[in-house]
Amino acid sequence: MIVRRLPPVHPIALNTVGMAAAVPVLLTASLMRDETFVLPSLTETWIAIAYVAAVGSVVVFLLQVFVVQHWSASRTSYVMVLIPIVTVALSAWLDQEPVTSGLLIGGTLILFGVYIGALRQSVA
């Protein structure tokens, strides 16, 4: 993994450089596609954006870097597979979305796959 080959850099500094490099590329692509820029008008939208920016971006990134420093990159990638399970649980709780048998079966398969790929001790 590239992060392990670099000299020790604070994760926030590393992410800042990466995001700063991406801004002109994404802005140029957006302008080339003639997209319009509109600021949200609802308070709920601003709260959601703040949450995603703080928790979904910064906190998750810092946790991911922490885990990569202690696990191999391939084992760490399995952690991200668990996000849909958390999403379904939160959606069922916050939005009263129905949890169907398909979601339960799929969640069980995901957990089993994570156990096999990331958590189970190798037999060699």
For residue 62, give the nearest of 4, 120, 10 by alpha carbon.
10
Helix, strand, or coil (residue 54): helix
Cα 116 versus chain centre, distance: 21
Q: How far apart are the first and last CA of the chain?
A: 24
Confidence (pLDDT) at 29: 96
The DSSP element (H or E) to which 33 belongs, if any, is none
| H-type alpha helices, 2-123 | 2-5, 11-32, 43-51, 60-70, 73-81, 83-94, 101-114
Q: Which of 83, 23, 93 is nearest to 55 (CA)?
A: 83
pLDDT digit string, tens, across residues 2-61 = 667 778 877 778 778 888 999 999 999 999 999 999 999 999 999 999 998 888 888 888
pTM of the model as a whole: 0.51
pLDDT in tens, 62-104: 888 888 888 887 777 777 777 777 888 888 898 888 888 988 8
- Cβ–Cβ under 8 Å, residues 37 and 48: no
Render 82-110 in DSSP notation, one character per residue. THHHHHHHHHHHHS-----HHHHHHHHHH
| pLDDT value, residue 122 | 65
pLDDT at position 79 is 74
